[in-house]
Structures are given as C-alpha cells and as structure tokens.
Amino acid sequence: MTDASTPRRLGFLLTQLGTFASARFAERVRDLGLVPSDAGVLRLLSRNPGMSQRDLAGRLGTVPSRVVVLIDSLEGRGLVARTRSPSDRRNHELRLTDAGRTTMGALRGIAEAHEHELFASLDDEERRLLQGILAKLAADFGLDTEVHPGYSERGQ
C-alpha cells in the first residue's frame, strides 16, 4: 500500500504513540471510576495541597469555571475537599481527602503497570536512551514536569 521503505516521520510516530499511550492510560483509569482529567487533578493536588481553584486552573491551562465542574465531581465522590481559606474567605483551599489519597495510591500503581506494558519490549539500554532523548525534547519545549497536557480527556 504505502511506502514501507521510507522510515516514518518522527513527529508522526511521536503523535501516534503519545495518543496510543493516552488512550491506554484512560482505559486503565476508568477501572478506578475516574476519567483522565480526574487523575491529573488528583496528581496535582497531591503535590500541591491547599491550592486555590484559580491556581489549579492556571496550572491546567483552563478556566476557573471548568475547575468548578472538575472539583464538584471529585468532591461529590469524596476524593477532594474544599475548605474556605481563613486568611481570605474568597479562596477555596483544595486538598485530597483520605479516600483521595488512597485513590492516588491506586493511580500510582496504574501508572507503574502502564509503564511496564508500554515499554515491555525495550531493554534497559533502550529505555535509558529513550528517557534521555525525550527528556531533552520536553526541556526544549518547556513542558511542565508536573502537569499533564491532557487534563481533559487524555492520559496520565
């Protein structure tokens, strides 16, 4: 069909694999009753307890009104708690509940399994090389080490 001789473009491969990895992660996360956006928020809050909703919006690259919906959902399931800031009562401080921390632990397990599955066919040397190259590229483009781009419907 297509030209099997020409090596596929790197950008194409990167997009294809990134999309595949996201979709696969989303599947796994669904087993916990979460969507990928939930996972992103839990992850961020576990590392930055007490964040305000505006902080979170900025970090996720979205608008405050979207954060309301995300947090409403997580709060409704008892995974995140809002508490009004004593110093400025306009602010909500966001934190994981105990249940939220438990879920976060499960998410770490899922990420581990995901990692194993994706890179099963690579040897240690290849993993090391890939890690080095991808980290370099991520640095080139200033990609945030904590924030996942797909806070919405994507993976991890």
Partner DNA sequence: TATTGTTATACTCTATAACTATA
Partner DNA sequence: TATAGTTATAGAGTATAACAATA
Which amino acid makes up residue 70?
L
Site for DNA in 6-25 (CB under 7 A): none
Closer CB to DNA, residue 24 or residue 66? Answer: 66
H or E element, residue 92: strand 92-96
Q: Which of 27, 33, 47, 64 binds its own copies (CB under 8 A)?
A: 47
Q: Which two tokens stand for residue 16?
A: 């294809």
Nearer to DNA, 88 or 123 (CB): 88
Q: In what helix (H) or strand (E) does residue 102 lie, and over which residues does it extend?
A: helix 98-118
**72 or 126, CB closer to its own copies?**
126
Asked whether position 65 contacts its own copies by CB under 8 A, the answer is no
Residue 143's identity, in one-letter code, is L
Residue in 5, 31, 65, 141 binding its own copies, rule: CB under 8 A: 141
What's the CA angle centered on 78, arms 76 and 81, to 5 degrees? Answer: 90
Shortest CA distance to 67 belongs to which of 47, 104, 95, 37? 37
Residue 67 is a binding residue for DNA (CB under 7 A): yes
Q: How far apart are CA 9 and CA 16, in angstroms?
A: 11
Which residues here bind its own copies, judged by CB under 8 A? 1-2, 4, 7-23, 25, 47-48, 111, 114-115, 118-122, 126-127, 129-131, 133-138, 140-141, 143, 145-146, 148-150, 154-156
